[in-house]
Amino acid sequence: MASLRVPEMTRAGVCVVGAGPAGLALTLMLLRSGVEVALVERSTGLRRDFHGEILQPGGQRVLDELGVLAPARARGARELEGFQVLQDERLLLDVDYRRLPAPYDRLLALPQRHLLDELLAACRALPGLTFLEGHRVSGLVRERGRIAGVVAHRHDGGTTTVRAAVVAGADGRHSRTRMLAGIDAGRREAFDQDVAWFALPAPGRATGAVRVHRTRTGAVLVHDTHPDRLRVGWTLPHRTWNRVAVRGIEDVRRELAEALPGFADLIHAHLRSLSDLTLLDVFAAQAGRWVDDGLLLVGDSAHTHGPIGAQGINLALQDAAAAHPVLLDAVGAGDASRDRLLPYELRRRPAAAGVHRVQRVQAKALLGRSGPVATRLRSRAAAVVTRSRIGERITHRIAYGPDPVGVRTDLFTTPPPVPTAAARATRRGDG
C-alpha cells in the first residue's frame, strides 16, 4: 500500500490541536461554517488514552445539534437514570435525571472511541479539512508578536508547518500548545483523592445509574458501560498509590470486594493484577489566560476538573460551541487579536470556576471519610436534594452546567454530510 504524501507546509483558517471531543466538535462546527481547518493529532487511528465517557444532557444536546449523537449511540452505549450515593449498601441520595425534560432525561455512558469516530467521519465528509494525524506539536509559529500557526513533528521524523489565522489548543490537561505559549496551567491540589479506574465484564449486572458506594475509608464509583461491563473508580487519598501498590493485588481485591459486596465475585474473578488499574491524577486547573493573539484554548487545555459529577466532556463540548462563533468572527474579520477572542473567555471562565467550586463541595461531601456525625449530616442533606424542588434545580444545573451553550447552527453554510452505505454498515456492525 502506497504511503500518503504528507505536506511540509499547509494553510488553514484555524489550526485545531487535539482530536478529542472538544477539538473534533469545534472542527466540525467550523467546517460546517465554511472555514478551512487543519486538525493536528499526536496519535494515529485515534489510539489514545480515554478516561471520561459519561455524557451529561448539556453535552448530549451539543452533539445532537451536530448530528452525531444518534449514530454514536448506535455503535453502543448505556443509558443511566442518574446519580446514586449508597452508604453501607443503603441508598442515601438519588439524583433522578428522569425529572428533566426529554429527550435529554438520561445520562449516557458512551465509549469515547465511538464518539470520536463519528465526529471524525463527519469532519472528513466535508470540504476544507486537512487532518494531520501522527503529528506532535513541537513549536508555535510567531509573526509580528502573534501566534500564526504550529510546527509539528511527524512519526517519520519529518516536520510539517501549519500557518493559520488562529490556533485552537484542544490537547488536554497537559496541553503542549498551552505550554509552548507560555501560559501557566494554574494547577491547584483542590481534591484530596486520586482515582484508580478498572473495568469488569458484567453481563446481566447493569446498575442503570452512576453509583457512589461510600466506605469507611472513602468511596468507590461504579457505572455501566458498553458492552455489558462495569467501569469502577476506586478513590484513594491523594498521592498514595505507591503505598497501595506495595500491598499487592490480593489485598486490593479484598478491600474492593468489601466495598462492593454485590460485585465481589466479579472483582475476584477478573481483577488479576495491579496493571488492570489505571491511576488518574485528580487535580483542578484554570489556565492563567485562555486566549492570546492568535490563540484560543478549549476544554481541559483551559480548565481541568475532577471526575465527580461527570463534567469534563460536558464543559469541553460547550466550550467548543461557545468558541465557534467567536472564531468565525475573528477569521472573517482578519483579526485574531486577544481582544477579538476575549468574549469567549469572558463567557466560559465563570462557568468553569463555578463547576470547580461545586466539585470541591461534592468531593468533601461524597468522597470524604465517614464518621457518625458526617453520616447523619449527609443523610439530612441528601433528603433535601432527593425530595424537594431544590433537588430538581440542582439536577438541572449539574446536567447543563452554569452556562448552557447550544450550537450556533444558524452560522452553518454547508449541509450536514450524508453517511455512505459503507459507513452505515460499519455503524451497524460496531453497535
The model carries a pTM of 0.90
β-pair type (284-286, 187-188): antiparallel
Question: Which segment of 85-94, 229-238, 380-389 scores lowest on mean pLDDT?
Answer: 380-389
* Structure confidence by residue, pLDDT tens digits, 161-200: 999 999 999 999 999 999 999 999 988 876 778 889 999 9
| DSSP E strands, 170-307 | 187-188, 193-201, 210-214, 219-225, 229-237, 278-280, 284-286, 291-292, 295-297, 303-304
If we measure between CA atoms, which residue out of 239, 301, 326 comes closest to residue 14? 326
* Structure confidence by residue, pLDDT tens digits, 254-280: 999 999 999 999 999 999 999 999 988
Q: In whole angstroms, give the CA distance from residue 177 to residue 6.
A: 21
Q: In whole angstroms, give the CA distance from residue 147 to residue 165.
A: 8
Residue 356's pLDDT band (cuts 50, 70, 90): confident
* Helix/strand/coil percent split, the chain, to 5: 40, 25, 35
Written as nine digits, the cell of 341 is 477572542
Question: Rounded mean pLDDT of the chain?
Answer: 88
Written as nine digits, the cell of 11 is 494553510
Q: In whole angstroms, give the CA distance from residue 91 to residue 75.
A: 32
Encode 370-395: b = buried (16+ Cβ within 10 Å), e = exposed.
beeeeeeebeeebeebbeeeebeeeb
Q: Which amino acid is at 277?
A: L
Beta-bridged to residue 41, according to DSSP, are 133
Please give the pLDDT value at position 368. Answer: 57
